[in-house]
Amino acid sequence: MLCEAELLKKRKTSKTHLLDSMPVVVAKGCRSNKAKTAGELCDKGKCASQKMWYYGVKIHILAEERVHSVPVPRKILLTKASEHDLPAGKLVLENTENIEVFADKGYIDDNWAYDLQLRYVELNTPFKERGKNQIPLDDGECAWNAFVSSRRQQIESLFSQISRLTDMQNAHVARSESGLLSFIWANFALLAIFYW
């Protein structure tokens, strides 16, 4: 039987990581215009994937890919709902080296990608769709977008699992900054204890 130290040695860490964000909604709909809860942390922003405006925060996660399983969060960052993914991504990847990252179109920045390459961080994002009067994406670009999308499925599964097991995205019970932070980190702690 292997002791714990030997088991840890045998565990292979993946160089592949996934980067994305999910909303934590304190108020939505008409209430999002009037909400003031945790005003130092929260503001109004738009979640493009869910096509909604909300008042709250965003959780940005850099997760390590695992084969045939949900990825494990390695870095977590909280920002206001209105903050774009790119500056948050730069903070999350600030001190990383020697990894491969799959992310969505919100993280596209050629200068940043070049800076990351100097630290052996390979940032893989899909190609942006072109405008109406421009040349459409070719077959190779469409194939690359499908590949990146398939690699990103794991982080979408992670967000789905977080939402299903903790209902973390619905933080309407929070009434203060400390209450919101406690709500978020307690849910992550429960997930870490029982699942990861």
Give the model confidence (pLDDT) of 102-161 as tens digits: 999 999 999 999 999 999 999 999 998 877 777 888 899 899 999 999 999 999 999 988
Q: What is the DSSP letter of 29?
A: G
Tokens standing for residue 88: 């948050």
Residue 58 token pair? 């965003």
pTM: 0.85
Terminus-to-terminus CA distance in the chain, angstroms? 22
Q: What is the DSSP letter of 11?
A: P
pLDDT at 177 over 60: yes
Domains parsed from the chain with CATH numbers: 14-128+135-187 (3.30.420)
The burial of 11, by beta-carbon neighbours within 10 Å (0-12 exposed, 13-18 middle, 19 or more buried), is given as exposed
Instruction: Give yes or no for residue 33 having a pLDDT over 50.
Output: yes
